Structure 1
Amino acid sequence: MFEAIAWDVDGTLVDSEPLHHVALMAVSRRYGVTVKPDDDRFVGVAMGDVWRVLSKEYPSGLTRDVWLEEIVEAYIEHAPRLKPIPGACEAVAAFHKAGVAQCCVSNSARRIVETNLAAVGLDGMVLFSVVREDVEEGKPDPAPYALACARLGKRPDSVMAIEDSAVGAESARRAGLSVLQFGLDFDDFSSIALTISETRVSA
């Protein structure tokens, strides 16, 4: 039985992956680097890891911190176009109503996570978010989910992680959590919400 839920954000709660790519393409173009619209190398990957891949192509004077800030600003600029993953908000709301502790665990920067949750009205339903700035290593390292469990005050085996990417699922499993992967283990968020009536949740 699970006692809490740790949600991934990008691609799980919010259809944000296209916007992340738009921001990456825009900033890269600014520095003469072409990232193609169909380049899927960076789906679910922490931006620090994206930088390690692309930095050799950028001008030598561009720093990681400046690049990251420009990515965030480009993303937030286009935030009004963000949409929730169908059914995800309803599932979070159902668990919230049932009193299930929920948090978010993301490879994105704090400002992006806060923007995502606010854009789809979920910022008031989760206790906290573990973001890229909170850990030395992002997903697939187990550190983000381990920190989430510590903050929840829960054993990892009592927390359910809900992810959409193999990178995120690996992170959660390595931290000892059970995982449901959107698009692999389930395709309909209503099936998750139904577990409220099927599972007794203990505090």
Structure 2
Amino acid sequence: MKNINAVLFDMDGTLIDSEYFYFSNWAPILLSDYGLDITFEDWIRDFAGHTLQDNVEMLKERYNLQVDAEDLWFSTRASYARANMKTIRLMPHAKDLLEMVKERGITMGLVTSSYNTTVQTVLGEHQLLDYFSFFVTRELVEQPKPNPEPYLLAVNKLNIPKEEIVVIEDTSTGCTSAKNAGLYCIAVTKQEVERKRLSHADVILNDLAEVKNSLL
């Protein structure tokens, strides 16, 4: 793309290596409370990139489990607190990419299905908050990804033509949200199960180093 004036980043699985953290906290709860034993591959295929409510509905429909969303919310949040989200690592090349975009004077926003407390905790630990002009978090939208609402809200905040905006995502859910908002989407993942679902992305790359080269 030419004339890029804004880049919108997803967070989980894109900038931070959080999916195994979430899996390692959910899996014991699903096993002890609901008798469901899942693998990390199951997590990537069925859970990653979705909101808690979406995952609750999936568990009810696919596994015929009687899951209470409020109970699961409290259980997972308590587990996150014990596990310490500050230990979540950045994805390889994340800071280099952010620094390059910043040096070029391109506006950056974060569009995530996570809550603001998670953004502040994890990105704050890595001193990345100041790279972003704004954050679109779960509590700011009625309809999260894959609905286009999060990215449409970001477009309104930017006041930049859509053709000058690039989105960086790692899941089909996020890419669907971006594309339905009329935006150019670069998908970045090495997960084969996810790559097969990303045919609607404009480009599919392996890591953020490739994203950096693409934006150059």
TM-score (norm 1): 0.84
**Separation in 2, partners of 1:75, 1:4:** 32
Alignment of 1:188-199 (within 5 A): 188-194=207-213, 198=216
**Residue in 2 that maps onto 1:186:** 205
Partner residue of 1:139 out of 145, 152, 160: 145
Q: CA offset at residue 81 of structure 1?
A: 2.8
Superposed CA offset, 1:71-106 (max 9, x none) = 233224322431111001110122123221111111
Q: CA offset at residue 156 of structure 1?
A: 2.5
**Separation in 2, partners of 1:133, 1:30:** 29
Q: CA offset at residue 182 of structure 1?
A: 0.5
**Separation in 2, partners of 1:150, 1:125:** 19
| Residues 90 and 76 of structure 1: CA distance in aligned 2, closer, same or farther (over 3 Å) | farther
Partner residue of 1:48 out of 33, 50, 53: 53
Superposed CA offset, 1:24-75 (max 9, x none) = 224434534424133231111112201222366346xx4x344324323322
**Residue in 1 that maps onto 2:65:** 57
| Residues 134 and 37 of structure 1: CA distance in aligned 2, closer, same or farther (over 3 Å) | same
Is 1:75–1:112's contact at 8 Å kept on the other side of the alignment?
Answer: no
Alignment of 1:1-150 (within 5 A): 1-29=3-31, 31-38=33-40, 39=42, 40-54=45-59, 57-58=65-66, 62=68, 64-78=69-83, 79-150=85-156
Mark the runs of 5 or more structure 2 residues left unpaired by the alignment: 190-194, 196-203
Is 1:7–1:102's contact at 8 Å kept on the other side of the alignment?
Answer: yes
Mark the runs of 5 or more structure 1 residues left unpaired by the alignment: 199-203
| Residues 35 and 136 of structure 1: CA distance in aligned 2, closer, same or farther (over 3 Å) | farther
Is 1:33–1:58's contact at 8 Å kept on the other side of the alignment?
Answer: no
Over the aligned positions, Cα root-mean-square deviation in angstroms equals 2.2
| Residues 154 and 69 of structure 1: CA distance in aligned 2, closer, same or farther (over 3 Å) | farther
Which structure has greater helix proportion? 2
Is 2:86–2:122's contact at 8 Å kept on the other side of the alignment?
Answer: no
**Residue in 1 that maps onto 2:199:** none
TM-score (norm 2): 0.79
Is 1:26–1:74's contact at 8 Å kept on the other side of the alignment?
Answer: no
The alignment of Structure 1 onto Structure 2 pairs a total of residues equal to 194
**Separation in 2, partners of 1:151, 1:98:** 20
**Separation in 1, partners of 2:71, 2:103:** 41
Amino acid at match of 1:158: E
**Looking at both structures, which has the greater relative contact order when contacts are Cα pairs under 8 Å and sequence separation is at least 6?**
1
